[in-house]
Structure 1
Amino acid sequence: MNTFITFYQNLGLALSLLVFATFLVAGTIKGVIGLGLPTISMGLLGLAMAPVQAAALLIIPATLTNVWQLAFGGHLRALIRRLWPLLLAIFIGTGLGILWVGMAGGPWAVRALGGALLLYALSGLALPALRVGADVEPWLGPLCGLLTGIITSATGVFVIPAVPYLQALGLSKDALVQALGLSFTVSTLALAAGLLWRGALGGGELSASLLALAPALLGMWLGQWLRQRISAVLFRRVFFIGLGALGAHLLISG
């Protein structure tokens, strides 16, 4: 508790309010489209603090909101049976990336990721939906997972290529959001293990991240409430607009 209080006393009132507002907005967006909390949080908090410090604040809210996301929807067992090769490859890829690349991919890597995400979102809005056939799933899933893990280790953002792959499986909106929760939970835990290994995730950082949990959960609840009140067609449009906004943010901010 002392480390918790000390951390936010050092931050000051203005930055503490920024942490609260950031996770409230990020949690709401995540509740609607199933992603965005790490990207938005890292982007906004990175304006006022070191990336490693922002990543440490992210661990508890990201982990618990991802667990909440994957727990609701009624498709968990079927998704685990179908997606376990992807999930295992994400964990392995993140570990290999941390060992080989580290967590300092640089602005060029973040901008490249943002550009890819923006292009994918624009194609999703303008072109027919892509579909992954059952015959390619056994090898394409692990490949996408491995690449996602390596990109996560370099940028701290775990959406490419896992999100396009999951979206191309043709899942219902609730199953897709639950599948994203599974993928992001594995990515967050692997990233937390990397921060711990680098000595950037101690008791003080974990205690401090508790402040971010309440607004993130509140935002998540608001977002899920909104998602249940929009149609599948509107959800798909919002999903791609959200992806495009995240990509543009990464491309501009780097």
Structure 2
Amino acid sequence: MTDFIMASLLPSLDPLIIGAIIAIFLFAGLIKGFLGLGLPAAAMALLTLIFEPTEAIALLSLPIIVTNLYQFSRSEDRLETARRYKVFALAIIISIFVTAWHITVFPTEILTSVIGVAMITFASQWLFGLSFSIGTGAGWQLGAGVMAGILGGLSSIWSPPVVMYLMARKAPKESFIAATGFLFLVGSFPLAVGLFMSGVLTIVAVIKSLLGLGAALIGFRIGETLRAHVSQDTFRKAVLIAFMIMGARLVFNGLV
């Protein structure tokens, strides 16, 4: 009976695919645990080697929700953070939902290139400290939120506009951690809903995502442990350089 149910739910999930999903999310979770960021970028760089971009994004749904929920739950002043960034959050929620809902109308080449550009931007801002001057008005949050939502809906990576905004505002360390946890979390739910409504997030994708979630959580704990024994700066630079190379590969593949 169990074999029949599994065969019905996972008609094409062979052991090699299972092993690949577990290995990829184990690695991505390790990156997240060690650096505190980078799970979507790390996972997308490898998932797109074996899955179509839309399927790869769907597989990230549960790991993104759970890891960001964990991150935000451990932050301080959660209510104050939500109040301070409510415009930013609303812009992300609406734009990421609308974009993810219509993700199937975008050609694979465009999705591949967008994912690559998101990875390069993500890596560049951390390697080179990219920032810009912004004002205190709500319009800046609205603009950055819409940019983050569109990027997130197309690639599952919406951290670049979020982080660049917070860096430009010179957010203190604890405020930065709380804000990123909040803004990453609020975007993860409409992303999942939008993907479901577009038909990309299916029951098979959810089961695969659950496999990825388990591996990501294990990797997260390993990453936290390694953080105390390995030079974080050296490891971070190596990972970000790898992100840039893999992002450039995706852009090239999307253009040729």
Q: Name the TM-score class by shorter chain.
A: 0.7 to 0.9
Pairing partner for 2:245 from 240, 245, 248: 248
- Does the CA-based 8 Å contact 1:4-1:207 persist in structure 2? no
**Aligned: 1:221 with 2:227:** no
Specify the alignment match of 1:16 in structure 2: 18
Q: What is residue 28 of structure 1 aligned with on the other side? A: 30
Q: What does the per-residue CA deviation read over 1:22-53, in whole Å, with 9 as the maximum and x for residues that have no partner? A: 11111121123332112221221221122232
Helix, strand or coil for the counterpart of 2:12?
A: helix
- Greater mean deviation of Cα atoms: 204-213 or 144-153: 204-213
Q: Displacement, 1:2? A: 6.6
User: What is the aligned-residue RMSD (CA, Å)?
Assistant: 3.2
Partner of 1:113: 118
Structure 1 residues 218 and 75: alpha-carbon distance in aligned structure 2, compared to 1, 3 A threshold: farther
Q: TM-score, normalised by structure 2?
A: 0.79
Matched length: 246
Q: How do 1:166-185 residues align onto structure 2 when only pairs under 5 Å count?
A: 166-185=166-185
Q: Higher mean Cα deviation, 33-42 or 14-23?
A: 33-42
Partner of 1:73: 75
Distance 1:71 1:228, change over 3 A: farther
Classify the secondary structure of the residue corresponding to 2:34: helix
Please give the alpha-carbon distance, in whole angstroms, between the structure 2 residues aligned to 1:176 and 1:80.
13
**Higher mean Cα deviation, 141-150 or 10-19?**
10-19
The gaps in structure 2 that reach 5 residues or longer are 252-256
TM-score by length of 1: 0.80
- CA apart distance, 1:131: 7.6
**Following the alignment from structure 1 to structure 2, what is the Cα–Cα distance between the partners of residues 52 and 78?**
35
Letter of the aligned partner of 1:205 in structure 2?
Answer: A
Letter in 1 for 2:115: V
Structure 1's unaligned 5+ residue stretches are: none
Could you report, residue by residue, the CA deviation over 1:48-92 in whole angstroms, capped at 9, with x for unpaired residues?
A: 122232222221122111101111132322321221211111112
Alignment match, 1:150: 150
> Structure 1 CA distance, aligned partners of 2:178 and 2:84?
13
CA distance in 2, matches of 1:23, 1:222: 12
**Contact kept in structure 1, 2:28 and 2:39, CA below 8 Å:** yes
What is the aligned partner in structure 2 of residue 5 from structure 1? 6
Give the letter for the 2:83 counterpart: R
Amino acid in structure 2 at the alignment position of 1:71: S
With over 3 angstroms needed to count, the CA separation of the structure-2 counterparts of 1:34 and 1:48, relative to structure 1, is same
Moved more, 165-174 or 153-162: 165-174
* More moved, 149-158 vs 174-183: 174-183
Note the 1:16-95 alignment, pairs <5 A.
16-95=18-97
Superposed CA offset, 1:112-163 (max 9, x none)? 3344334423431xxxx85866x52532122101111112222232122112
Cα gap change, 1:117 to 1:101, in 2 (>3 Å): same
Greater displacement, 189-198 / 29-38: 29-38
* Alignment-derived partner of residue 161 in structure 1: 161
Which residue number corresponds to residue 187 of structure 1? 187
Identity over aligned pairs, percent? 27
Is contact 1:121–1:244 with CA below 8 Å preserved after alignment? no
